[in-house]
Amino acid sequence: MKKKITFLLLGDTLAVGLITVIGFLSHETLLTAPLLRLAATFFPTLLAWLLIAPWLGLYRSEIYSNFRQLWRAGWAGILAAPLAGLFRSLMLGGVPILPVFVLVLAATSAFGMIIWRGAWWFFTRAHK
């Protein structure tokens, strides 16, 4: 059980990293953005995810092993986005929180986490 949670946490972290990279790629700034800008998106998003996901039961086996509960990963991404925006603002010294940033982060996080958690479900289901 602990091994699965560790793998889920690692996968969640990698998914947030991939979502961050795709965001910077979509703005064509991945190679030109200072590392602090990448960190200021990745770490707040990851922290917000790690605060919201357990609240929605995403690390309980009856949730992560049930395909019908996959929506929770998307909902967690949506709920984590405003909190991530706040954490990002604080990390960058109080810059304004742009609503469009929060909306795009919510959508991409929800989509990305559903894909990752769906792949997790499929892989673990196929190997039972």
The confidence score (pLDDT) of residue 42 equals 96
User: Helices 71-91 and 35-52 meet at what angle, rounded to 10?
Assistant: 130
Of 78, 94, 76, which is closest to residue 40 (Cα–Cα)? 94
pLDDT at 17: 95
What was the pLDDT predicted at 37?
81
- Per-residue confidence (pLDDT) for residue 125, from 0 to 100: 82
pLDDT on residue 128: 57
What pLDDT score was predicted for residue 18?
94
CB 60 within 8 A of CB 66: no
10-residue mean pLDDT series, the chain (128 residues): 89 96 80 78 97 96 93 98 97 93 96 96 79
